[in-house]
Amino acid sequence: MKQIQWFPGHMSKASREIKEKIQLVDIVCELVDARSPLASRNPVIDDIVGVRPRIVILTKTDLADERKTRLWHQYFADHAIPTFDFDVNKRFNLKAFVDSLQQILSEKFAKEKAQGRKPRAIRMMIVGIPNVGKSTFINKIAGRKAATVGNKPGVTKAQQWIRLHQQLELLDTPGILWPKFEDQSVGLKLALLGTIKDDILPLETIAEYGLTFMRDNYPNQLVERYGEAGISADFIEQLDSIAKMRNSIGRGGETDYHKIYQFFLHDIRNGALGCLTLEVPEEVTADEA
């Protein structure tokens, strides 16, 4: 498979602006997709953030495998990075979140107080790749529509400060990807979850990757949704069985494969195939860690 590259001009500009603004914030809040916490982390962010304090939010936990999510919390804890879950269907404990931020920054604020500086709100930068749920997260903790929400990559186009209350100010930033995916499996995972646009990779390639993953890791969920034929080792047989279930057989008895690719991807991205997680910490190599 060809090397996956997608780095539009606005992403390059956003990267430069984040570097310029990083000195204005106390802490960085990095959002990652709980279904693929490693693949959805932008390695460029590590270089930008440096040693600045960081907290990780695992988004879309309602769509992720709960057992594997616990493993990821432990993984980040082992790397001294605090984490929080974010399920859009549940109340987010903002008080506990702010308390955690204050604890992380207690030494910094104690020094400022000793220097005679007045107490102030925590300044936090929100970062993450496209379509990871940044705007949804901001609106949820703000209790109002403070950021534009869209179920597609690249909704936020510019940085914006958002004041939540006296204790917390947020600097939202556009989602940015890194220039190219050296590990092709990373590109496939992000494509399957809808993080990169569907025209970057052929839908057939994404669908085949996703169906193979589901057959090998969540076969019961495939059967529940598509029937026994859904776990066929033959990719075309899988597609044909889904087509029959969906009545997507065209004239002459031929399957509309493009339509089935779209249907399957919609199912996997929106939870119709059940909760799933594409990777676990045990798969992280020494270099990745």
Please, are residues 97 and 140 in contact by the beta-carbon 8 Å criterion?
no
Q: What is the CA radius of gyration of the chain?
A: 21
275 has pLDDT over 60: yes
Mean pLDDT of 100-106: 94
Please, are residues 208 and 188 in contact by the beta-carbon 8 Å criterion?
no
Six token digits for residue 102: 């204050």
Question: Residues 29, 146: one domain?
Answer: yes
Question: Residues 162, 28: one domain?
Answer: yes
Residue 185 lies in a domain: no
11 has pLDDT over 80: no
CA distance 54 to 41: 13
Question: Residues 159, 212: one domain?
Answer: no
Amino acid identity of residue 9, one-letter, is: G
Question: Residues 31, 158: one domain?
Answer: yes
Domain of residue 259, CATH code:
1.10.1580.10
pLDDT at 13: 66
CA distance 198 to 109: 45
Q: Is 194 annotated as a binding residue?
A: no
What domain count does the chain have? 2
Question: Residues 89, 168: one domain?
Answer: yes
Q: Is 68 annotated as a binding residue?
A: no
Q: Is 175 annotated as a binding residue?
A: yes
- What distances in angstroms separate CA 136 from CA 165, 224, 247, one per listed residue? 18, 30, 35
Range of the domain at 246: 202-270
Question: Residues 168, 252: one domain?
Answer: no
Which one, of 33, 56, 34, lies nearest residue 46 by Cα? 56
pLDDT at 95: 87
Question: Residues 232, 134: one domain?
Answer: no
Six token digits for residue 70: 């616990």
CA distance 141 to 147: 11
Residue linked to tokens 């992720």 = 64
Question: Residues 173, 213: one domain?
Answer: no
Residues constituting the chain: 289
Which one, of 17, 6, 54, lies nearest residue 32 by Cα? 54
Residue 278 lies in a domain: no
pLDDT at 157: 43
Residue 170 lies in a domain: yes
Six token digits for residue 110: 């104690």
HSE, CB side, 13 Å, CA atoms: give it for residue 205: 15
130 has pLDDT over 90: no
244 versus 33: the higher-pLDDT residue is 33
Q: Is 133 annotated as a binding residue?
A: yes
Residue 55 lies in a domain: yes
CA distance 220 to 204: 23
Domain of residue 26, CATH code:
3.40.50.300
Q: How confident is residue 144, by pLDDT bands cut at 50, 70 and 90? A: low
Residue 282 lies in a domain: no
Six token digits for residue 137: 């997260």
pLDDT at 151: 42
Question: Residues 243, 106: one domain?
Answer: no
Which one, of 253, 130, 269, 129, lies nearest residue 203 by Cα? 269
Question: Lowest mean pLDDT: which of 32-41, 181-190, 202-211?
Answer: 181-190
Domain stops at, among 117, 148, 180: 180
Mean pLDDT of 168-175: 80
Residue 277 lies in a domain: no
Reported pTM: 0.84
Give percent above pLDDT 90 in the chain. 43
92 has pLDDT over 60: yes
pLDDT at 269: 94
Question: Residues 90, 207: one domain?
Answer: no
CA distance 119 to 117: 7
Q: What is the mean pLDDT of the chain?
A: 83
156 versus 63: the higher-pLDDT residue is 63
Question: Residues 35, 77: one domain?
Answer: yes
pLDDT at 270: 93
Q: Is 185 annotated as a binding residue?
A: no
Contacts of 130 (CB under 8 A, 6+ apart): 153, 154, 155, 174, 175, 176, 177, 195, 196
Q: Is 132 annotated as a binding residue?
A: yes
Question: Residues 129, 228: one domain?
Answer: no
Residue 59 lies in a domain: yes
Mean pLDDT of 245-262: 82
